[in-house]
Structure 1
Amino acid sequence: MSDVTAGLPAPLPAKASNGRWRKYGFYYLMLAPAIVCFIIFNYIPMYGVIIAFKNYRFIDGIIGSPWIGMENFNQLFNDIFFWRILRNTLIISGLHILFGFPAPIVLALLFNEIINGRFKKIIQTISYLPHFMSWVILSGIMIELLSPSRGAINFIITLFGGKPIHFLADPDTFVGVLVASHLWQSVGWGSIIYLAAIAGINQDQYESATIDGANRFQQMRYITLPSLIPVMTVLFILNVGGVMNAGFDQIFNLYNPAVYSVADIIDTYVYRIGLIDTKYGFSTAVGLFKNVVALVLVIGTNYIVKRFNEYGIW
C-alpha cells in the first residue's frame, strides 16, 4: 500500500454499495424532487449575480449588457439612504433575535411542564396557528387591533383616560409593533424543535434526579436546558446568519412613508429600486452585498461558538 492511500478508509465493496441502494433507494427517490427544485430555484439563478457588475438593460439581456465593474457598489456605498436602511435592518433583526430566540425555548419548557395532555394539545395548536397565516392576513389583524379609531388596544387606552396612539404611523412605536407581531407569529412554531429535543432526553436522568430530591425547576435547570444546548447553538448560528433578513413580508404589509426612517430595510429598498425604479443592476448589487455579509456572519459566528464548545454547524 502506498503512503498516499495508507491513511484512507477502504472503499465499500460493490455488494455493500448495491445493498445500501436497495435498502435506502426509496428514500433517495423521495429526496430527489427536493434536490432538483433546490438546484433549479437556488443554484441556477445564481448566474444572474453578474448583473451586479453590469449596466443591465432588458433589451440587451444579461450577456449583452455592458460591464461597469464596481460602479453599482460605489453608488451603493455613497447612497445616504443605504446606511439608514442598513441600520434599520440590523436594529430590527437584532431585536428579533434578542426577544425571538429565547421565547420558543421558554415556551417549549412551559409546554413540557403541562401534565394535562388534552389541554397541552389545545394550547400548542393555538400557538402554532399564526405561523400558517400569511402576513397579508396577520397585518390586517394588526391594523384592526391597533387602529386609533376602532382598534381594541386604543379602546382600552381611551377607556382608562388615555389618548389614542397611532402605533403604525409613529416611528417611536412601529418597531415595537414589528417585534411583538413577529414574536406572535413565530414563537409557537419555533418551539416545536425544542419540544422534539426535549422528547429525546433520556428519562432515566429525570428519575435519578427525582430520587435525589430535585424539584421540577432544578430538573429543568440541570437536565433539560443543558440537553438543549446543541440545538440552541445551531439555531442561534442560523439566526445570526439571517440577520440581514429583517422580514420583508411583515414590514411591506405594515409600513408606510411615515415610518420609513425606522422601518425601511434592505429588502424593501431592493423592492423599490429594483421592481419599481427598474434599476436591476443596482438592486442586484444590494442583494449580493446582503448575502455576502450573511455568509460572513454564519462563518464567523460558527467559528466563535466552536471556540467555546464543541457544537456548531460544521
Structure 2
Amino acid sequence: MSDDSNDERRLQAELRVRIDNLATPHAPVRGPFPYSVPAPGAVAEPNMPNMPNMPVRNLVSVLPKIEYKEQHEEEFERSLEYVGIQRKILRALEKQDTILTAREAYTWTKDSVLGGKRRSPILALRLCYYMRSLGYDTFASIKTAFDPINQVKTAILRLFIANPDSEMRGEGYDHLYWMQDTHTGAIYPKAYKLRLLANPPVDARRDAPAHALHLGPSFNAQAVYQQFLQHQQQQQQQQQQQQREPPHIRGGEAQPFNPPHLNEHRESWHRIYDANRALLTMGRTDMDSLNDTLSRSVQETIARLLETD
C-alpha cells in the first residue's frame, strides 16, 4: 500500500509542476511573441499589432499584377458619373465583396460610360484597368471585324473577367462583360449574356433568327458582331420601306369600314332575306328542307359574288 501511495503522490507533484510551467510566460526567443500565455481559467487576449484599416480581400489573382495611375494620363477628365462608379467599387471592396460577376462589371462600365458626354471606349478601357489595379482579374482585348453596312473594317473592344478554372485566355475561355465599337462608340447591350448557338433551336423567333443567344461565359465575337450588324441593317431597311409607303387616307380622315359591292348585288342578298323570313313562318317539320334550300341559296349567292368580283 505504501508503494501505491508514493506513486500517487509523485504523479500529483509532476502534474502540479506542469500547471506552474503553463502559468509562467516563456521568454521570447526571436523578438516579442504577439500572444501571451494565459493562466489556467483566464481568457486569452491576443496582443495584435496595430494595423491600418484596409479592406480585407481574399483574391487569388490569375493575372499578373499591374500598377495603374490614371491621374498621370494626358487629356483625361473624370466625370462625376465615373468618379461615382469608382466609389462604388471601393465600397464593394470594403464590404469584402471579392466576387466580381460579368453582370456587375457591365453595369459599372455602362453607368460610367453613358454618363459622360460621349460613349468613348477609352472610358471603358480605363475603368477596366482601374479594377485590375485593385485586384480584380479584368483585362481587355481588341479584335478586328468587318462592318457590312459601311463596308469597312472596324475594331471591337472586348473586356473580360479571367476564368480561374482555365489556363487559356480570350474568347471561349473567359467571361465577357463589355463589347463596344471603337469607331462609332456603339455598345452591344448586355454583352455578358452573349453566347452564340451553332444550331439555333427549332422554335426560335422567326422574326429575329440572328439573335439565337443564351446565357453563357463564352461567345464567338466575329459571328456575333456580324449578326448584330445584319439585324441593324434589317431594321434600317424596314424603317426606310415604311417611310417610302404613303399612308392610305380616304377623304383626309379615317372612315368607318363598309363592305364593298353590296349595292351591286342587292337582289342576291334579298333572296337570303326572304329565305330567313320564310323560316320564321314554317313549322318544325319543314325545318330540314328549308335549311337545305337556304344553304343552296347562300352558296349560289356567294358563288355569284365571286364570279362578278
TM-score, normalising length: structure 1: 0.20
Question: Bigger radius of gyration, 1 or 2?
Answer: 2
More helix by share: 1
Q: Which has the higher contact order (CA 8 A, sep 6+)?
A: 1
More strand, by proportion: 2
